[in-house]
């Protein structure tokens, strides 16, 4: 029906950027100091199973190559892309 609803509570985690893997199974999000990956439930869209990735960097934008094999993250403090 197009209505939006909350997909979960992030607690003290405050996402600044969100991107979804091309296979539709994972949502990646960044804060100023970490990247997390959530599994997307294909039946209801809920996010589960947060996995923490690299922390301690000032991450901003996240991009996944359309083939799903490459992941890029910009670091605002160092003007780098990883």
**How does the average pLDDT of the chain come out, rounded?**
80
Task: Indicate the pTM of the whole model.
Answer: 0.77
Question: Percentage of the chain surpassing pLDDT 70?
Answer: 74
Beta strands in the chain (DSSP E): 17-20, 26-30, 34-40, 47-55, 59-64, 71-75, 80-81
Residues in the chain: 82
Q: How confident is the model at residue 2 (pLDDT cuts 50, 70, 90)?
A: low
Say how far apart CA 43 and CA 20 lie, in whole Å.
Answer: 16
Pick the more confident residue, 5 or 48. 48
Task: Write the pLDDT tens digit of every residue in 44-76.
Answer: 888 887 888 766 677 778 899 999 999 888 877
């Amino acid at each position: 029906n197009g209505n939006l609803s909350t997909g979960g509570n992030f607690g003290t985690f405050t996402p600044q950027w969100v991107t979804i893997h091309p296979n539709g199974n994972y949502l990646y999000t960044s804060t100023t100091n970490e990247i997390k990956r959530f599994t997307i439930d294909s039946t209801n869209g809920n996010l589960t199973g947060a996995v923490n990735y690299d922390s301690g960097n000032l991450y901003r934008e996240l991009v996944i190559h359309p083939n799903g094999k490459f992941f890029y993250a910009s670091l605002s403090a160092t003007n780098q892309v990883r």
